[in-house]
Amino acid sequence: MIQQMTVQELQQRLEQDKPPLIIDVREPWEIQLCSLPDTVQIPMGAITQRLDELDPDRETVVLCHHGIRSQHVAIYLQRVGFTQLHNLRGGINAWARELDPHMETY
């Protein structure tokens, strides 16, 4: 089972010395509208081809628009050996609604 992380929990984790890796699995056009800084941007359809860019032992948070695509990617990453995974519950939309009202939404 993939652990769910709230946007508040992620915000706190990003302020720590060793923040988690954030993988944004949305499409490039979505990321242009709004995104979090310092994310690795890998569209969902390219995740299998770009696995070698990722560290399976690093704490990793996967995000998308609402948390559905990222959940599927997190399940896949777990199957291929990633051990410290979180899905961002509610995705970038929850971040905008709950933490950053100035962030563009779609």
Active site residue: 7, 23, 62, 64, which one? Answer: 64
To the query of whether residue 34 is one of the catalytic residues in this protein, the response is: no
* 63 close to 92: Cβ distance less than 8 angstroms: yes
* 65 close to 87: Cβ distance less than 8 angstroms: no
**What are the tokens at 46?**
């390219």
**8: three-class secondary structure by DSSP:** helix
**Which residues belong to the active site?**
64
